[in-house]
Amino acid sequence: MSTNNEPMTISEKIFSKAAGKTVKAGEFVLANIDRAMTHDITGPLAVDGFYEIMRDKEEKKVWDPSKIVILFDHQVPADSLNAAQNHIMLRKFAKEQGIINYDVYEGVCHQVMPEKGHVKPGDLVVGSDSHTCAYGSLGAFSTGIGSTDMAAVFASGKLWFKVPDTIRFEVEGKLPKHVYSKDIILHLIGDVGAEGARYKAAEYAGSAISSLPMSERMTISNMAIEMGGKAGIIEADATTEAYLKERIPDYEFDPYWKSDEGAECELHKYDISNLEPQVACPHNVDNVKPVTEVEGTKVDQIFVGSCTNGRFEDIEVVAKMMGDEPVAKGVRLLIIPASRTEYMKVLRAGYIEQFMEAGAMVESPCCGPCMGGSFGLLGDGEVGLATSNRNFKGREGSPQSFVYLSSPATAAASALTGEITDPRKI
Ligand SMILES: CC(C)[C@H](C(=O)O)[C@@H](O)C(=O)O
Ligand code: SF4
């Protein structure tokens, strides 16, 4: 795509393809969207906005139904009359327009989108959800937009962007035992802060990233927004290729979709060989401390799930660490696999029986208590530990509650003791 030999970032390459001409960071472009995702919370407003835009048109059709995906995940199964009405409205819209619609049983949007093969390297993807940056784990430029922007995408398939600058995190070293990609991303966010990557495309590279399996890469890309990032990209490699070949029959690896050597970026280097498990403390995601500084904090509820850490691999870590031990007295352990597919893997491995024996609760795939809009809420003064991505005041229920964020391993260790516990000591 490049017309000269200047090195380009992967974001510049993707926006050049989407704009049909070579563009650089800082330029404003009208970009063609490859894929658009919306869900049960932000979808209804996008649909209303779409009809508003189309009000004078005789034919009120979306630009390309095959490029839109509608999912229900935040309030499922419908937990209020309002949610039920929203589901009805979106089902009707999807049917009329011929749009793919994953219903209440399928899972969390950011798990289902990659899982069902809706994203590939080099794509420009938008979703009306802030954690849409998760699909950067597949080498796409993927970002969250508002419902009114989504209405414009439904109508035209295009959206204005400023091509972002790049902030590149080169992470080297081998992860110590019981330390996971969640600890890496919490460490990075704690280091650069909640605004550290504002309107930049975060790129994650280096041996510590390229050695991660897809499940752990998704955790890292998912949380780019918690440092203000517009995207969170990991260039595609053999691991990505193997994941995509199972899902997109005609997928062919294209080495073009990566940042060129020497492309302009703000570079941050890390060595995680001695990284401790990390915990984000109330009430900000960048309030990150090593677990040893917060161990002993009593917890009332532990939530293992969400688009950040609700995959089979995450839940397996918990199952293995807990073994035959019960959940500590007085603690509620809530486990919610991120999708039906992940749930089935957990089921087939025998872990659901193990968790139920241990006194945990296992729920069908959904966002659950992640953003406090559904069930499993925290009451006044309660302390929650979660494997999700946000711990803002009131995020999981009462504004008088406290949410800590950690890896599944730290969550499992804490479920056994009833207090925040260093998984290396179990
Ligand atoms: C409901 C939705 C708008 C929201 C988001 O955009 O992130 C939610 O998914 C969240 O995690 O807070
Ligand atoms: S699991 Fe949480 S972070 Fe992910 S989409 Fe749902 S509410 Fe948002």
pLDDT digits (tens, 9 = 90+) for 66-77: 999 999 999 999
Largest CA distance in the chain: 66
Report the number of distinct structural domains present in the chain: 2
pLDDT digits (tens, 9 = 90+) for 379-391: 999 999 999 999 9
Q: Are residues 310 and 244 in the same domain?
A: no
pLDDT, residue 373, reads 85
Statement: residue 78 has pLDDT above 80: yes
Whether 294 is covered by a domain: the verdict is yes
Say which residues have a Cβ less than 8 Å from residue 140's Cβ, sequence separation at least 6: 14, 34, 119, 120, 121, 122, 123, 124, 125, 233
Q: 65 in a domain, yes or no? A: yes
Specify if 318 maps to a domain: yes
CB 382 within 8 A of CB 369: no
- Domain for residue 258, yes or no? no
Beta strands in 103-186 (DSSP E): 124-127, 141-144, 158-162, 165-172
The tokens for 82 are 């309002």
Same domain, 244 and 284: no
Mean pLDDT of 11-20: 98
CA of residue 129 to ligand 1 center, whole Å: 5
Q: Which of 67, 101, 109, 120 is nearest to 250 (CA)?
A: 120
pTM of the model as a whole:
0.97
Is residue 257 domain-resident?
no
CA distance 372 to 360: 19
CA nearest ligand 1 atom 7, residue: 130
- Ligand 1 within 6 A of CB of 74: yes
Decide: 395 in ligand 1 pocket, CB within 6 A: no
To test ligand 1's pocket by mutation, which of 131, 143, 391, 395 has the most ligand atoms within 8 angstroms of CB? 131
Q: Does residue 132 sit within a domain?
A: yes
ipTM of this complex = 0.98
Q: By C-alpha distance, which of 123, 130, 100 is closest to 112?
A: 100
Cα–Cα distances in angstroms (integers) from residue 56 to residues 23, 50, 134, 392, in the given order: 34, 12, 36, 42
Mean pLDDT of the chain: 97
Give the residue among 389, 408, 279 at the shortest CA–CA distance from 333: 408
- 291 and 417 co-located in one domain: yes
Q: DSSP state, 276?
A: P
**Rounded Cα gap, residues 74 and 366, in angstroms:** 6
The strand pairing partners of 269, in sequence order, are 170
Q: State in Å: Cα 130 to ligand 1 middle.
A: 6
- Ligand 2, atom 4, residue with closest C-alpha: 307
Task: Write the pLDDT tens digit of every residue in 231-247.
Answer: 999 999 999 999 999 99
Ligand nearest to the CA of 71: 2
Confidence of residue 39 (pLDDT cuts 50, 70, 90): very high
Residue 127, Cβ neighbours under 10 Å: how many?
Answer: 26
Residue 336 binned pLDDT confidence (cut-offs 50, 70, 90): very high
36 occurs within a structural domain: yes
Identify whether residues 171 and 116 lie together within a single domain. yes
pLDDT for 4 equals: 62
pLDDT in tens, 337-366: 999 999 999 999 999 999 999 999 999 999
pLDDT score of 97: 98
Q: What is the mean pLDDT of residues 53-79?
A: 97
pLDDT of residue 5: 79
Task: Tell which of 270, 301, 334 closes a domain.
Answer: 270
Same domain? For 162 and 284 the reply is: no
pLDDT, one tens digit per residue, over 196-210 is 999 999 999 999 999
Same domain, 306 and 175: no
If one residue of 111, 339, 367 were mutated to test the ligand 2 pocket, choosing by the most ligand atoms within 8 A of its CB, it would be 367
Distance, in Å, from the CA atom of 213 to the CA atom of 211, rounded to the nearest integer, reads 7
Q: What is the pLDDT of residues 88-142, one digit of tens each?
A: 999 999 999 999 999 999 999 999 999 999 999 999 999 999 999 999 999 999 9
Give the whole-angstrom CA distance, residue 234 versus residue 334: 30
The set of residues, in sequence order, having a beta carbon less than 8 Å from that of 64 and lying 6+ positions away, is 157
- The CA distance from 205 to 240, in Å, is 14
131 lines ligand 1 (CB under 6 A): yes
For residue 124, the enclosing domain spans 10-21+30-250+263-270
| Residue 13 · residue 27 · CB < 8 Å | no
Do residue 237 and residue 323 come from a single domain? no
pLDDT digits (tens, 9 = 90+) for 270-309: 999 999 999 999 999 999 999 999 999 999 999 999 999 9
Task: Output the domain CATH number for residue 178.
Answer: 3.30.499.10
Tell which of 209, 242, 270 closes a domain: 270
